[in-house]
Structure 1
Amino acid sequence: MENKINFIKANIDALPIPDSGKRYTYHDTKTAGLQIRITSTGVKTFSVYRRIKGGDPERITIGRYPDMTIEQARREAVRIAADISDGKNPAEIKRGKKAELTFSDLFAEYLERHSKPSKRTWREDESKYKTYLEKTLGRKKLSSIDRRDIALIHSSITKAGHDITANRVLALTSSIFGWGISAGLWELNPAIGIKRNKENTRDRFIQGDELPRFFEAVAKEENDAIRDYVLISLLTGARRANVLSMRWQDINFERAEWRIEETKNGTPQTVTLSQEAIEILQARKPSNHAIFVFPGSGKSGHLEEPKKGWKRILERAGIQNLRIHDLRRTLGSWQAKTGASLAIIGKSLNHKNQNTTAIYARLDLDPVRDSVNKATSAMLTAAGLKQSADAVPLKRKKGVDFGK
């Protein structure tokens, strides 16, 4: 059965399924040589059917619908027709298509040759690929991926309410293609030119009136690893990944310091530990030779994902729109409230700022420690866990016990 139709989505979707063992072929009225063939199982495949100079007609399969869009099939048909007009053999064209990398192939090269050797966050690249790109782009040949494909992915993530994630996935896709070009594996970057979502600078931190509810909700958390992880994140202002991978060997109880050998910005950091943070860590310290402060059962050996516990805490506290990273901002904000300079705050949070690098280099930990202690004291006072300037042990407040 052979017919000519205009290849539009409505027409192709409405095509009848042939009986068992049969196959229908339809020709596009707009693009010479472009066909779509339908099997009795409902599989629809684009192909190009053209006569070679001095030979018989050849059928070249180019992709399945709807994985390959109509516009992509038309462009590919035009390209193949041009190659045939130049005297190229379709068999060679087809072999070239088979040899062409898929997006999955390109990502594998990118991960092993670029991301793992040069990015501490390579696991985030791998996670984003598996979550958002593998099913949508993974099997596609690079030549079949266009700006529309990537824009649709960005749009779908955005519509799901994840504007920033959509931007990060778009940035990763662009990086993969960009690296592929620099490595001589590909020639075009279809992610260029796609408009990113507007990102407002986030200024959320735990307000004074929220602190009593927050600390009470944390105290009621039955998972002691989650509870203490949240507290240490708040009291140190350290980044999420660094707290998760915190090691006992890096903590000096005598100096009340925690040494992070490599942070996100590529520099080491010495974190000053308040008395409250020391008490929590001392209560957690095991008698055996444990490596991580917050051990986990995964491959890394430490706690990997505290989101479920974090959600429980926020629900108990009745607090909305607060992220784990906002704990870091909370310490900095309370430092500012208690009179710390921007240089002191930057030093304590290990911000990398070229304009203040020289200032940071001249600062020792004493003013930083004083600022962190003042901010901690102010937060605990606002939460009702300290009376005036006099410390009240956290475990003494009725219904609150952070030391277990």
Structure 2
Amino acid sequence: MPKARLDTRFLSHACCPDGKRKETYFDTSMRGLCLEVRVSGGRTFYLRYRDTRGKTRYAKLADAQHVTLPQARTLCDRMRNKIAMGIDPLAERAVKRQVPTFADFARDRYMPFSQANKRSWQTDDTLIRTHLIPAFGSKHLDEITTEDVLTMQQAGLTAGAAPGSVNRRLILLRYMFNLAWRDWKIAGVTENPTHGIRLLKENNKKERYVRAEEVKRLYHEVCKSQNTMLKHIVAYLLLTGARRNEALHATWQDVDLVKGMWRIPETKSGYARHLPLNDGAMAVLQQVQGCSRSQYIFGNPKTGKPYVHVFYAWNTARKKAGLPDVRLHDLRHTLASLLINNGRSIYEVQKLLGHTQIKTTQRYAHLTQETLLDASNIGTAAMAATLGMGSHGDVIQGRLC
């Protein structure tokens, strides 16, 4: 273990002894600093130290060709300070080497998890491939900063994406980092860079409610459709408030016609739910039962398989009814609106629609102008009675003062 005072002169003359591949010289003027000289001519500064278990370790400081001796001493000081604070430089570097790039993490860890646990995994795959990997793919997870995320958000808006689309990218990225950081304890990931970044305000949420006269017009055209199953599907959606695919994939095994109960095995939330079938829905099922030749309630009469979609037939009927903007999903909104306007509580509607959060139901809690006017008149009548006035007109004419 040769010792030497490392100075400019020594560095210029130091060489590897004959018969050796390398030699390490330990500085006599600075504890732990050493210079490795190789037969190839390469030279590297190291720090020798003992880790928390008392084992002797060598941590690389820098190549002698890239730093001066004073700079090497500064690096040595900094690393010794870290060690004094309980930070093992070799362990720290080992952790750094384990941190995956975003692209590797998405491919090897997140997507297998998404496919196994999320019905919407294909949406995740599309968002990751088309938006997140182009923005972060080559970066290691611990290199992605809040500023990087804000840049992605702004780039999406600049490219013309709607606020809702940009928000979906942020929500997915936030979820992925929460898994990497909190749940899976991925090496080197100590925080979520999306923390504190707010979602963009969205003003594009569609809330279309089909009025009574529109329902009549629409159903009249639906009944004339060449798709003989469409009228049953539309009626069932209107009467139950179910989602399109919940109805299209419903089987006779899922319904109990005696108890009037429908078990929906796969919902948007991923959990099965049970929906009581009202008299109208039961009547639809009885009509279909006589002509169904499939295990699927609304199966295609020709193939016996469930419809992938009924858009063409639906689109034709809604255009003929003069309602080209009405979507099948709006039938679900319409039922919610009717229930609220007829005095049912928002919690009852939440249960019937299968919402996990009340705020989702509140979007559908649309009160008609007639309902609001009735409520207002009730308030006026109550005020008139309180003040001892004979009629609503007394209040309207300004006699409150």
The TM-score, its normalising length taken from structure 2, stands at 0.52
* Residue 348 of structure 1: aligned partner: 352
* Residue 275 of structure 2: aligned partner: 270
Structure 2 residue 289 is the aligned partner of structure 1 residue 282: yes
Structure index of larger Rg: 2
The residue identity in structure 2 corresponding to 1:184 is: K
Partner secondary structure for residue 210 of structure 1: helix
Deviates more, 1:147-156 or 1:321-330: 147-156
* Residue 168 of structure 1: aligned partner: 168
* Residue 17 of structure 1: aligned partner: none
Whether the aligned pair in 2 keeps the contact of 1:219 and 1:227 (CA below 8 Å) is yes
Deviation at 1:332, TM superposition (A): 1.9
* Residue 330 of structure 2: aligned partner: 326
Partner secondary structure for residue 212 of structure 2: coil
The residue identity in structure 2 corresponding to 1:129 is: I
Q: In the aligned structure 1, how far is the partner of 2:340 from the partner of 2:298?
A: 29
Q: Which residue of the other structure, out of 50, 64, 69, is the alignment partner of 1:55?
A: 64
Compared with structure 1, are the counterparts of its residues 189 and 292 closer, same or farther at alpha carbon in structure 2 (3 Å cutoff)? farther
1:94-113 matches, within 5 Å, as 100-107=99-106, 108-113=108-113
Structure 2 residue 193 is the aligned partner of structure 1 residue 184: no
Higher relative contact order (CA 8 A, sep 6+): 1
Superposed CA offset, 1:249-304 (max 9, x none):
10234444322246445462123052453256336621x5x457457xxxxx8555
The residue identity in structure 2 corresponding to 1:142 is: L
Compared with structure 1, are the counterparts of its residues 135 and 225 closer, same or farther at alpha carbon in structure 2 (3 Å cutoff)? farther
Structure 2 residue 149 is the aligned partner of structure 1 residue 150: yes
Q: In the aligned structure 2, how far is the partner of 1:310 from the partner of 1:136?
A: 39
Q: In the aligned structure 2, how far is the partner of 1:306 from the partner of 1:161?
A: 28
Deviation at 1:330, TM superposition (A): 0.8
Q: In the aligned structure 2, how far is the partner of 1:227 from the partner of 1:162?
A: 35
The residue identity in structure 2 corresponding to 1:250 is: D
Q: In the aligned structure 2, how far is the partner of 1:197 from the partner of 1:109?
A: 28
Whether the aligned pair in 2 keeps the contact of 1:256 and 1:272 (CA below 8 Å) is yes
Compared with structure 1, are the counterparts of its residues 178 and 227 closer, same or farther at alpha carbon in structure 2 (3 Å cutoff)? farther
* Residue 64 of structure 1: aligned partner: none
The residue identity in structure 1 corresponding to 2:103 is: S
* Residue 237 of structure 1: aligned partner: 241
Structure 2 residue 231 is the aligned partner of structure 1 residue 246: no
Partner secondary structure for residue 200 of structure 2: coil
Whether the aligned pair in 2 keeps the contact of 1:147 and 1:191 (CA below 8 Å) is yes
The residue identity in structure 2 corresponding to 1:55 is: A
Q: In the aligned structure 2, how far is the partner of 1:245 from the partner of 1:311?
A: 20
Q: In the aligned structure 1, how far is the partner of 2:130 from the partner of 2:228?
A: 30
Structure 2 residue 215 is the aligned partner of structure 1 residue 206: no
Compared with structure 1, are the counterparts of its residues 217 and 173 closer, same or farther at alpha carbon in structure 2 (3 Å cutoff)? farther
Q: In the aligned structure 2, how far is the partner of 1:244 from the partner of 1:157?
A: 35
Superposed CA offset, 1:207-230 (max 9, x none):
234324432454465556666544
The residue identity in structure 1 corresponding to 2:237 is: S
Q: Which residue of the other structure, out of 195, 198, 203, is the alignment partner of 2:198?
A: 195
Compared with structure 1, are the counterparts of its residues 98 and 202 closer, same or farther at alpha carbon in structure 2 (3 Å cutoff)? same
* Residue 16 of structure 1: aligned partner: none
Q: In the aligned structure 1, how far is the partner of 2:192 from the partner of 2:298?
A: 43
Question: What 5-or-longer segments of structure 2 have no aligned partner?
Answer: 1-60, 68-74, 81-90, 359-401
Compared with structure 1, are the counterparts of its residues 191 and 270 closer, same or farther at alpha carbon in structure 2 (3 Å cutoff)? same
Whether the aligned pair in 2 keeps the contact of 1:106 and 1:176 (CA below 8 Å) is no
Q: In the aligned structure 1, how far is the partner of 2:227 from the partner of 2:134?
A: 35
The TM-score, its normalising length taken from structure 1, stands at 0.51
Partner secondary structure for residue 188 of structure 1: coil
Q: In the aligned structure 1, how far is the partner of 2:154 from the partner of 2:230?
A: 34
Compared with structure 1, are the counterparts of its residues 170 and 225 closer, same or farther at alpha carbon in structure 2 (3 Å cutoff)? farther
The residue identity in structure 1 corresponding to 2:132 is: L
The residue identity in structure 2 corresponding to 1:105 is: D
Q: In the aligned structure 1, how far is the partner of 2:333 from the partner of 2:122?
A: 24
* Residue 19 of structure 2: aligned partner: none
Whether the aligned pair in 1 keeps the contact of 2:239 and 2:335 (CA below 8 Å) is yes
Compared with structure 1, are the counterparts of its residues 352 and 191 closer, same or farther at alpha carbon in structure 2 (3 Å cutoff)? closer
The residue identity in structure 1 corresponding to 2:275 is: T
Deviation at 1:174, TM superposition (A): 0.4
Q: In the aligned structure 1, how far is the partner of 2:149 from the partner of 2:238?
A: 38
Q: CA RMSD in A?
A: 4.7
The residue identity in structure 2 corresponding to 1:214 is: L
Partner secondary structure for residue 348 of structure 1: helix
Question: What 5-or-longer segments of structure 1 have no aligned partner?
Answer: 1-51, 59-81, 296-300, 355-404
Whether the aligned pair in 1 keeps the contact of 2:315 and 2:324 (CA below 8 Å) is no
Q: In the aligned structure 1, how far is the partner of 2:93 from the partner of 2:273?
A: 52
